[in-house]
A and B are shown apart, each in its own frame.
Chain A
Amino acid sequence: GAVVSQHPSWVICKSGTSVKIECRSLDFQATTMFWYRQFPKQSLMLMATSNEGSKATYEQGVEKDKFLINHASLTLSTLTVTSAHPEDSSFYICSASQTQGYEQYFGPGTRLTVT
């Protein structure tokens, strides 16, 4: 139980284009989903927290107009990187949390490369 999937697992895009990453909780309802970014040999940095049906809460320094987050249902959240630049190349990981649980369940991650 408690499986979280991400799609795609990797993506290469050209500078200036937009990329959408999906995060799904497969066997539970996730009232809260989190998006993290991880650069090589660094730890996870929280980008934003989203609750189903409401606007995401972004961490300081994360541009909400560049990283669009939608949490339209209890099983799906999407992150869209708009006007991607090479410096956005990173490993993006989502996690999901159940209403009563304390644990975050992580997706397998999406490696984004912007050329």
Chain B
Amino acid sequence: GQNIDQPTEMTATEGAIVQINCTYQTSGFNGLFWYQQHAGEAPTFLSYNVLDGLEEKGRFSSFLSRSKGYSYLLLKELQMKDSASYLCAVRSGTGFQKLVFGTGTRLLVSP
């Protein structure tokens, strides 16, 4: 079966660093994605990991350990606009590039 878990909610203060974890158990693995979604809007792409290790993109970094079925998204220098839901998604098949989404983590950044 497919199971992707994330914490439901997290809070942090402006300027801080927050780490959002994602654990997965899927039938096959072909890459892990992180998306940001503001309320009432579509998800926007943040990062993609297919090999173990850390991918850094400005204030955002994503880490993957395939052997542990684990990833995290690291957000640095938090801004108020980072308040959103963060979705972890695993591509578990080939061909159609189907994504299975995690439960999502709602992040609230306070002043």
Contact = CB atoms under 8 A, between A and B. Distances in A.
A32 interface: yes
Interface residues of A, number: 24
A31 to B, nearest CB: 10
A57 B104 contact: no
A44 B48 CA distance: 18
Given A43-B104, A44-B87, A111 B97 contact: no
Chain A contact surface mostly: strand
A26 to B, nearest CB: 14
A34 B31 CA distance: 17
Contacts of A41: 106
A108 B101 contact: no
Interface in A13-59: 32, 34, 36, 41-46, 49, 51, 57
A97 B97 contact: yes
B28 interface: no
Interface in A67-109: 91, 93, 97, 102-109
Interface in B54-111: 87, 89, 91, 96-104, 106
A56 B96 CA distance: 11
B97 A42 contact: no
Nearest to B45: A103
Given A43-B87, A43-B103, A44-B87, A104 B42 contact: no
